[in-house]
Structure 1
Amino acid sequence: MFAMELVVVLLAIYLGARLGGIGIGFAGGLGVLVLTLVGGMKPGAIPFDVIEIIMGVIAAIAAMQVAGGMDYLVSLAERLLRRHPRYVTFLAPLVTYGMTLLAGTGHTAFSTLPVIAEVAKEQGIRPSRPLSIAVVASQIAITASPISAAVVFFAGILEPKGISYLALLSVAIPSTMVAIFIAAIVTNFLGKELADDEIYQARLAKGEVSRRGSNGFVEKPGAKRSLLLFLAGIVAVVFYATATSDAVGLITNPLLPRNEAIVVFMLTVATLICLTCRIDTGEILNASTFKSGMSACVCVLGVAWLGDTFVKGHLQDIQAVAGDLLRSSPWMLALILFFASTLLYSQAATTKALMPAALLLGVSPLTAVASFAAVSALFVLPTYPTLLAAVEMDDTGSTRIGRLVFNHSFLIPGVIAIALSVAFGFLFGGLWL
């Protein structure tokens, strides 16, 4: 039965990957139906704790976007890139990493990808270099964002093990930042120079390569105010989560648990943005960040529920097979998370489905923290939205997906960045935890 049910899980994930986007959530629900009603398994827990955080954060981000705060943030990023265009390969991942760190969602990278591609073309730099590492940075930054659903959930299951929310961030942020910087250095030497690329030269000769120039940003009246309110909400989240942790203990027996507090803070921020910036709340429903966030909720709902159903149903079998292996070779956890995230397509879903089981199997908290960045291998299959957007926005043809599917521009930068993030996670975790 174990083998049959594993096949059901894999087929559901494969079907979801074929459907794309929100379809992986739909297929996850189908998988739960087959496992429970046909296979007789007890359904796992619906991941409402992760979904509520995504919904709360996305509500605030979408309100900020409608008020112009997101465009203002992108204009700051464009100003930075155009001020130092020769270093676009190093600054681009810094920009996407920072935006994801603040927003808790990698979809913020969509708005900066056209700027990155344009600045690279203007300097004669192969756009695949900054674009590829920028997309990877936006994905890995999820595991370091104070308000991402993956971080908040992971911190919650680590606290009984003696690892506080602040301790998790103190390892995740520096390890991923250093890894991204080193990966950017390596990426800067990948591929031919743009002037020597045959595909680029062919497109240039056909007139298929355009020059966009500056986007002529027009600031909305409430843009800066909405951004400041959102940043204030992040500060409030970090302070509250730290103050209520057992390690700090500034607030004992809090009335609001951390997850609920984050949702409350984010909804409050959204309310203040709507009131002070006088935006039409109806426009929030059409904001691109709102749509992508709600899609993420459905994906996590289906996939994480499917994973939890299967893992809990076979926990003893998994412990017998994998427990000793993970204890003797802890680095194997990073590999498991890496390959699982390529299929689950969500850092939050991968964390929710596998991290509790890993800790139950006897994996040390240090190993779990160090391996956390490996849940960000969403770039392996070239079907993730930001990856596809980068390919479409690079009209030079340097950012491309090869005939063998896996030989695309994002694989090498991504593998290097995650491997280094895990390595530095063990280093910094060993020093500080």
Structure 2
Amino acid sequence: MIFFELFIVLLAIWLGARLGGIGIGFAGGSGVLILTLFCGMKPGVIPFDVIEIIMAVIAALAAMQVAGGMDYLVNLAERLLRRPPRYVTFLAPLVTYVMTLLAGTGHTAFSTLPVIAEVAKEQGVRPSRPLSIAVVASQIAITASPTSAAVVFFATLLEPRGVSYIALLAVAIPSTMVGIFLAALLTNFLGKELKDDEVYQARLAKGEVSLRGTSVFTAKPGAKKSVLLFLIGIVAVVFYATATSESVGLIASPVLPRNEAIVVFMLTIATLISLTCKVDSGEILSASTFKSGMSACICVMGVAWLGDTFVKTHLNDIQAVAGNMLQTYPWLLALVLFFAATLLYSQAATTKALMPAALLLGVSPLTAIASFAAVSALFVLPTYPTLLAAVEMDDTGSTRIGKYVFNHSFIIPGVVAIALSVLFGFIFGGLVL
């Protein structure tokens, strides 16, 4: 029976992947329906704690976007990329990493991908190199962002085991940054040089390659103020989470639990941005970040609910099979998270579905934290939005998806970056924890 139920789970995920976007959340809910009504399983827990954080952070981010703050940040990124343009393969992932680290969502990469592609073309650099590692960096940065739902939820699992929120970030941030930088070194040598690429030459001959050049940027009146307010919100979240941590104990009995505090802080920042920057709140509903964030909420709800339903029902069986194996070979957790994220398409959903079970199996906090970066394997199937956007924005044709599906421009940079992030996670974790 367990194999039939597993088949239902995988079938729902496959169907969701075929539908694309928000469809994976729809299919996850359909899978729960079949497992509960036809297989007699008790429904798992809907991850509303994760969803509320995503909604609040996205609300503040969308308000900042409408106020012009996102365009202002993209302009700063463009200026950084153009100053030493020959280093675009190393600067591009730094830009997308930092933007995701601050915003808590990898969808901020959308706005920088056209700039990365243009700067690479201007310098004769194969655009697939900076674009591929930049997309991967935007995904991995989720596991190091102080405001991402995946990090906040994971921190709530670790604190009862003696690992604070700050300790988690102290391991996740340096390990992922070092992993991505070293992966960028390798990525800089992948593929033919642009001038030697047959696809590029064919497109160039047909006049299908164009250069955008630099553009004049005019910031909206409230752009800088909105960015400042958003950064203040992030600092407030980090400070409050640190102050209420049991290991720090500055606030012994907090009135607001950490998750609720993040929601309150982010909604307050959205209010301040709307008031002081004269934002029309109706426009926030149409912002691209708001739409993608709300889509992510549905995806997390459906898929994480599906995973929790299956795992909770068969937890004893999973412990019997996997417990000793994970104790003997702890690095296997990273592989499990890697392949799960490939199907679940969400760092938060993967963390919510598997991390509690992993810790119940006796996996040490060090192993769990070191393996955390593996929940970012959203690049394996070439259907993730930022991945597809990078392919579309590269008119040289160097960033492409091969006919065998998995032989695309992102697979090697992504696998290498995650493997190195996990490796350095164990190293930094051993020093911090």
Partner residue, 1:52: 52
1:170 Cα deviation after fit: 0.1
- CA distance in structure 2 between the aligned counterparts of 1:305 and 1:364, rounded to whole angstroms: 25
Structure 1 segment 54-93 matched on structure 2, within 5 A: 54-93=54-93
- SS across alignment from 1:146: coil
Residue in structure 1 matched with residue 303 of structure 2 by the alignment? 303
Q: Deviations over 1:207-235 (max 9, x none)?
A: 00011112322200000000000000000
RMSD value, Cα: 0.4
Structure 1 residues 29-428: aligned runs within 5 Å: 29-428=29-428
Letter of the aligned partner of 1:378 in structure 2? L
SS at match of 1:289: helix
C-alpha distance in 1 between matches for 2:201 and 2:307? 47
Give the Å deviation of 1:390.
0.1
Q: Which consecutive aligned stretches of 4+ in structure 1 deviate over 4 angstroms post-superposition?
A: none
Equivalent residue of 2:207, what SS?
A: coil
Q: Deviations over 1:76-120 (max 9, x none)?
A: 000000111010000000000000000000000000000000000
SS state at 2:349 partner: helix
Q: Using the alignment, how far apart are the partners of 1:215 and 1:357 within structure 2?
A: 51
CA distance in 1, matches of 2:224, 2:84: 24
Taking only the aligned residue pairs, the percentage that are identical comes to 84
Q: CA deviation at 1:432?
A: 1.1
The DSSP-based 3-state class of the residue aligned with 2:34 is: helix
Q: Does 1:15 align with 2:7?
A: no
Return 5+ residue gaps in structure 1 as ranges.
none
Q: Offset of 1:406 from its aligned partner?
A: 0.2
CA distance in 1, matches of 2:252, 2:45: 28
- In 2, the alpha carbon distance for the partners of 1:211 and 1:427 equals 43
Letter in 2 for 1:102: L
For 2:109 and 2:120, the matched residues in 1 are separated by 16
Aligned to 2:26: 26
Letter in 1 for 2:96: T
Structure 2 CA distance, aligned partners of 1:153 and 1:214?
41
Once the 2 structures are TM-superposed, how far is the Cα of residue 50 of structure 1 from its aligned partner?
0.2
Hey, what's the Cα distance between the residues in 2 that align with 1:217 and 1:156? 42
Cα distance in structure 1, aligned partners of 2:136 and 2:215: 24
The one-letter code of the counterpart of 2:52 is: E
Per-residue deviation, 1:310: 0.3
- The DSSP-based 3-state class of the residue aligned with 2:216 is coil
Counterpart of 1:42 in 2: which secondary structure?
coil
What CA distance in whole angstroms lies between the structure 1 residues aligned with 2:160 and 2:35? 31
1:280-306 Cα shifts (integer Å, max 9, x gaps): 100000000000000000000000000
Per-residue deviation, residues 109-137 of structure 1 (Å, max 9, x unmatched): 00000000000000000000000000000
The residue type paired with residue 11 of structure 1 is: L
Partner Cα separation in structure 1 for residue 46 and residue 177 of structure 2: 33
Q: Find the aligned partners of 2:425 and 2:60 in 1 and give their Cα distance.
A: 31
TM-score when normalising by structure 1: 1.00
Question: In the aligned structure 1, how far is the partner of 2:215 from the partner of 2:268?
Answer: 32
Q: Distance in 2 between matches of 1:315 and 1:211?
A: 55
> What amino acid maps onto 1:71 in structure 2?
D
Separation in structure 2 between the aligned mates of residue 47 and residue 217 of structure 1, nearest angstrom: 41
Of 214-223 and 77-86, deviating more is: 214-223
Separation in structure 2 between the aligned mates of residue 73 and residue 432 of structure 1, nearest angstrom: 32
The secondary structure found in structure 1 opposite 2:213 is: coil
2:157 partner letter: I
- In structure 1, distance between residues paired with 2:215 and 2:78: 9
Deviation sequence 1:61-85 (CA, Å, 0-9, x none): 0000000000000000000001110
Letter of the 1:121 partner, please give it: K
Distance 1:182 1:4 in 2: 42
Cα distance, 1:431 vs structure 2? 1.1
Shift of 1:44: 0.4
Deviation at 1:253, TM superposition (A): 1.1
**What letter is aligned with 2:194?**
L
